Amino acid sequence: MQILDYAKEEQKKQEDQKLWDKVINYFRKRSLWMLHYCTGCGAMELPPILTSRWDIERFGVGPMATPRQADILLLTGYVSTNTMKRVIRTYEQMPEPKWVLAFGSCTVNGGMYWDSYNTVNNVGEYIPIDITIAGCMPRPEAILDSMIELMDMIQRGEAKAFQKYKENYSYYKENQDRLFKRTKPVLESSALRYIHDENGGEQ
């Protein structure tokens, strides 16, 4: 019964989508730029999907060098605390609508680095993730599959995790602050203070 209700709700959402939204979403999903920002081993799977064997360009997906013109942020594996700061900054520089794909178990629970002192365990607590791809590391087919799923979500107007970030900003910001506080004792250790004083206040 619940499944039927869900299906009806989905159908209604589709019908409510205005024609113009459908057209925009169609072109949007066929012109996606992925930012070159790779955080872990999953980055090794990008050359195969970009080159002739899997050739993701045939779907209109291409690489982009700067966050200000990118649509998709790829988190291709484990993220350290310091990298997380750059990931957040990069994500916030990207224009909306924007989407995040997270590769592998490291982005969900830290993977094999789950008990490391400086590896982020669940990236989704700090920025919103649209799709998580299973595997360590995910196969190119899985990445291609997730791209196609993302395109379908864009067409249906459902890929809206970036709105969650704005609506629940205090939740994400609190988590980010808590995470970054963990590195503070190291950065403010007496050894670093000594170097700082030795340099006459310059670091």
Query: Judged by CB under 6 A, does residue 104 bind ligand SF4?
Result: yes
Give the whole-angstrom CA distance, residue 129 versus residue 144: 17
User: Binding ligand SF4 by CB under 6 A: which of 46, 137, 144, 151?
Assistant: 137
Please choose, from the candidates 58, 69, 84, the residue with its C-alpha nearest in 3D space to the C-alpha of residue 35.
69
User: Binding ligand SF4 by CB under 6 A: which of 105, 119, 146, 155?
Assistant: 105
Order of all β-strands in the sheet with 32-35 = 61-64, 32-35, 72-75, 99-103, 131-133
Name the amino acid, one letter, at 68.
Answer: R
Query: Judged by CB under 6 A, does residue 41 bind ligand SF4?
Result: yes
Residue 83 vs 176, nearer CB to ligand SF4: 83
Query: Judged by CB under 6 A, does residue 111 bind ligand SF4?
Result: yes
Query: Judged by CB under 6 A, does residue 77 bind ligand SF4?
Result: yes
Residue 78 vs 165, nearer CB to ligand SF4: 78
Two structure tokens written together for 70: 């990118």
Least distance in Å: CB of 110 to ligand SF4?
8
User: Nearest-5° angle of CA 63, CA 139, CA 84?
Assistant: 60
Positions in the binding site for ligand SF4 (CB under 6 A)? 40-42, 77-78, 103-106, 111-112, 136-137
